[in-house]
Structures are given as structure tokens and as C-alpha cells.
Amino acid sequence: MAVLDGLPGIKVEVRINGEPLVEYDDDEEYKPQDEDIPEDRRAKTVSKYIESQTDQEFTINLTLERPYEYDCDGLEFHTYIDGIRAQAVLLRRLEYKPHKGIHHTVIGFSSTDAVTLIKTTRPFKFSKLETSRSTAAFSLTYGLMSHTTGSLR
């Protein structure tokens, strides 16, 4: 479960069939020049790795509970999968009960049809990973797809 030391009580988990996946620490040092994360958000960012399971649907669980103390009207969580915005959710202070917390599950990519205003959600699903021992194949794939490598933000 991804937890920030500076924000105890806020947890994020990736789950398959309701069960949390095993997470692994990101052993690579954070690079301050990384342009993917704005300066003001770097201290509020944690990276973990999970093992994907081809063709399995997954969800992302957000939890706010003790010892977290709201000091604002609400917290907004933005979920990105492979660099694509999947969903944003606002967890309001008025809904927070310290003895129960707040739990929200992000189940997939949400969109609303501009004409009919019908909202649809496509479940998150792990794709098959293509692997190669060839550095040339890696360089080509990385060069073509570096903006869509698997990450949750």
C-alpha cells in the first residue's frame, strides 16, 4: 500500500478481486530534474511497483482514516494509468468520519458522451507485457512508447 510519511492515514492500494497486490519499493533514487512531477508535488509523491497479471481487471482503492486530520474542505485524487487520466475524485471533509474514515474504489476509465451525457466506465485491465533480451528492441520500443509505459500516479 502506498503511504506518504508526511500524510499518515492516506493509503492507496491496487487490488485484483478485492485482494491487494504485493508492492515493491522503488529502489532508484528520485531525480529532482524529473519534469513529470511539478516541484510542489514531489514531496507528496511515492512510487511503488506491482506485478501485473495479464488480462486481469484491477481497481485502485483510496483510503483516508486515522491518524489523518482534514485541514481543508476536501482532497482531490487524480488517477493516471499509463499517463492517461482515468478519473478524479473529491473526498470531502463533510463525509469524513474519524472512526470510519473514507474509502473509495476507482474501477476504471470514466468518460461522459458529449451528446447524450451518458457516463461510461471501462474497467482497468493489465495488458500483456512484451519482453526482449535485445537492447535494440528495447530502445526502439522505449523510443516509441516512452509516454505510455505503465505507471499509476
| Residue with more model confidence, 111 or 148 | 111
Residue 83 scores a pLDDT above 70:
yes
Residue 127 scores a pLDDT above 60:
yes
Report which residue type is found at 87. Q
Give the other-Cβ count within 10 Å of 99's Cβ: 6
Whether the upstream peptide bond of residue 67 has omega within 30° of 0, thus cis, is: yes
Residue 1 scores a pLDDT above 60:
no
Rounded Cα–Cα distance for residues 11 and 60 (Å): 10
| Residue with more model confidence, 13 or 32 | 13
- The model's pTM is 0.71
| Residue with more model confidence, 139 or 1 | 1
What is the signed CA dihedral for 22, 26, 27, 29, rounded to 10 degrees? -170
Residue 51 scores a pLDDT above 60:
yes
Q: Where are the domains of the chain?
A: 2-148
H or E element in which residue 111 lies: strand 108-112
49: closest CA among 137, 135, 151, 140? 151
Q: What is the mean pLDDT of residues 82-95?
A: 85
